[in-house]
């Protein structure tokens, strides 16, 4: 069971809905291309079939993802504990520099200047998960170990 935020689940559901709505469009393209005749030499037909295969693969992938996720908000989490969806202010113990990180189930295409997205399975995400405000966490990164003080949780 993979934990994701409610926002991540809604985004996956919206993607699935878009793919399902695209099915009749593709079916129409295939029918139009078939009406043109010889299917061996019909580029429109082959392109539409390829689009159909890619769309169906995406539908299967999204349905599988949705079947194995649990929304993090569906369980009670203390307000001072880092969990999916939380925006955490961290202070690098060595440099005293602070940065905001948002713990997500999977990365989104949304870019924000306010925080850096990290997944729960990334090194920093693993270190942060279930840590509490005031704790210092150790993160093993490819460039070496870093320690962060959890200053506060914004959301």
DSSP state of 75: S
**Separation in Å, CA 5 to CA 56, 103, 119, 148, 153:** 25, 9, 11, 23, 16
Residue range of the domain that includes 118: 77-153
pLDDT per position as a tens digit, 1-19:
566 777 778 888 999 999 9
Q: Are residues 52 and 105 in the same domain?
A: no
Long-range CB pairs of 54-59, under 8 A, 24+ apart, other chains included = 55/19, 55/22, 55/23, 55/26, 58/15, 58/19, 59/16, 59/19, 59/20
Which of 72, 99, 121 is the C-terminal boundary of a domain? 72
Q: Are residues 86 and 58 in the same domain?
A: no
Q: What is the pLDDT of residue 109?
A: 64
Tell me, rounded to whole angstroms, the distance of Cα 147 from its chain centroid: 25
Q: What is the pLDDT of residue 155?
A: 63
Confidence (pTM):
0.56
Which of 24, 56, 72 is the C-terminal boundary of a domain? 72
Place of tokens 């559901």: 13
Give the chain's domain count.
Answer: 2
Strand 116-119 relative to strand 98-104, pairing: parallel
Whether the predicted pLDDT of 87 surpasses 70: yes
Q: What would you report as the CA-atom Rg of the chain, rounded to the nearest whole angstrom? A: 22
Helices (H), 1-154: 6-35, 43-67, 123-128
Dmax (CA) for the chain in angstroms is 70
pLDDT per position as a tens digit, 116-146:
888 888 888 888 888 888 899 999 888 889 9
Which of 43, 72, 101 is the C-terminal boundary of a domain? 72
Task: State percent of the chain over pLDDT 70.
Answer: 88
């Amino acid at each position: 069971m993979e934990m994701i935020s409610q926002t991540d689940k809604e985004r996956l559901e919206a993607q699935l809905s878009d793919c399902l709505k695209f099915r009749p469009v593709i079916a129409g393209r295939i029918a139009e291309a078939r009406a043109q005749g010889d299917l061996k030499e019909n580029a429109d037909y082959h392109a539409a079939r390829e689009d159909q295969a890619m769309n169906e693969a995406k539908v299967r992938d999204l349905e599988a993802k949705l079947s194995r996720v649990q929304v993090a908000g569906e369980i009670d989490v203390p307000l001072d504990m880092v969990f999916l969806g939380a925006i955490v202010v961290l202070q690098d113990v060595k440099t005293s520099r602070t940065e905001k990180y948002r713990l997500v189930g999977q990365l989104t295409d949304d870019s924000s200047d306010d925080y850096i997205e990290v997944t729960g399975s990334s090194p920093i995400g693993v270190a942060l998960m279930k840590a509490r405000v005031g704790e210092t966490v150790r993160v093993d990164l490819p460039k070496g170990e870093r320690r962060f003080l959890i200053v506060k949780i914004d959301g």
